[in-house]
Structure 1
Amino acid sequence: MLTGFVGDIMLKTVGLLAALAAAVPASAQLAPGIRMPPEIGAAYGRLGKAMMAHDADGVRTVWADDFVVNSPDNTVLRREDVIAVMERDFLDYKDFHKHISFIDEKPEVTIVMGYDTMIPNKGPGTGKRVMRPFTDIWARRRTGWQLIARQATIAEAR
Structure 2
Amino acid sequence: MRPATRLIAAALATLAPLTVAAQLAPGVRMPPEIGAAYGRLGKAMMAHDAAGVRGVWAEDFIVNSPANRVLRREEVIAAMADDLLDYKDFHKHINAIDQKPEVTVVMGYDTMVPLKGPGAGRQVTRPFTDVWAKRDGRWQLIARQATIADAR
Deviations 1:65-123 (Å, cap 9, x if unpaired)?
11001113331111112111211112222311000000000000000000000012222
Give the Cα–Cα distance (whole angstroms) in 2 for the partners of residues 74 and 90 of structure 1. 15
Identity %, equivalent residues: 77
Aligned to 1:151: 145
Q: Is the 8 A contact 2:12 2:38 kept in 1?
A: yes
Deviations 1:37-79 (Å, cap 9, x if unpaired)?
0000000000000011000000000000110011133311111
Aligned to 1:93: 87
Aligned to 1:114: 108
Aligned to 2:125: 131
Specify every segment of 5 or more residues in structure 2 that has no aligned partner in the other structure, as ranges: 1-10, 14-20
Q: Is structure 2 residue 12 aligned with structure 1 residue 25?
A: yes
Secondary structure of the corresponding residue to residue 25 of structure 1:
helix
Give the Cα–Cα distance (whole angstroms) in 1 for the partners of residues 85 and 132 of structure 2. 23
Aligned to 1:53: 47
Aligned length: 135
Quote the offset at 1:153 in angstroms: 1.4
Secondary structure of the corresponding residue to residue 42 of structure 1:
helix
Aligned to 2:60: 66
Q: TM-score with structure 2 length normalisation?
A: 0.84
Q: TM-score with structure 1 length normalisation?
A: 0.81
Secondary structure of the corresponding residue to residue 29 of structure 2:
coil
Give the Cα–Cα distance (whole angstroms) in 1 for the partners of residues 141 and 64 of structure 2. 13
Give the Cα–Cα distance (whole angstroms) in 2 for the partners of residues 81 and 145 of structure 1. 21
- The runs of 4+ residues in structure 1 deviating greater than 4 Å are none
Specify every segment of 5 or more residues in structure 1 that has no aligned partner in the other structure, as ranges: 1-23
- Name the Cα RMSD after superposition: 1.3
